[in-house]
């Protein structure tokens, strides 16, 4: 069904954005990416604008543990759970 495909695609795209955010954070932390470069800075800001609203909500309840931020992992698991629930609701509505 079209709606299920759209939901799955949207969740997959957002998960890849989360993965890109984590990768860019590590690359910037180890000075692989020069954050003085305007293009790199714009890319990081764009991805942060997409992920930070969700991360902020999760961080209210799950602070970093031992200096490790588990927010991206929790966000991905939560997105997959929501995706499964929505797909189940859609399938049950059509049956």
Domain ranges for the chain: 2-94
Residue 67: band (very low, low, confident or very high) from pLDDT cuts 50, 70, 90: confident
Q: What is the mean pLDDT of residues 50-73?
A: 94
Q: What is the mean pLDDT of residues 34-52?
A: 94
Question: pLDDT (tens digit, 9 = 90+) per residue, 75-85?
Answer: 999 999 999 99
pTM confidence score: 0.91
Alpha carbon distance 87, 81 (integer Å): 10
Q: What is the mean pLDDT of residues 20-32?
A: 94
- Residue pair 17/47 in contact (Cβ under 8 Å)? The answer is yes
């Amino acid at each position: 069904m079209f709606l299920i495909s759209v939901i799955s695609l949207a969740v997959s795209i957002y998960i890849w954005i989360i993965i890109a955010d984590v990768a860019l954070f590590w690359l910037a932390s180890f000075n692989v990416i020069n954050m003085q470069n305007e293009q790199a800075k714009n890319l990081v800001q764009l991805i942060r604008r997409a992920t930070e609203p969700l991360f902020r909500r999760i961080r209210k309840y799950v602070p970093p543990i031992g200096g490790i931020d588990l927010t991206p992992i929790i966000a991905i698991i939560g997105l997959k759970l929501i995706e499964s629930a929505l797909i189940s609701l859609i399938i049950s509505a059509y049956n």
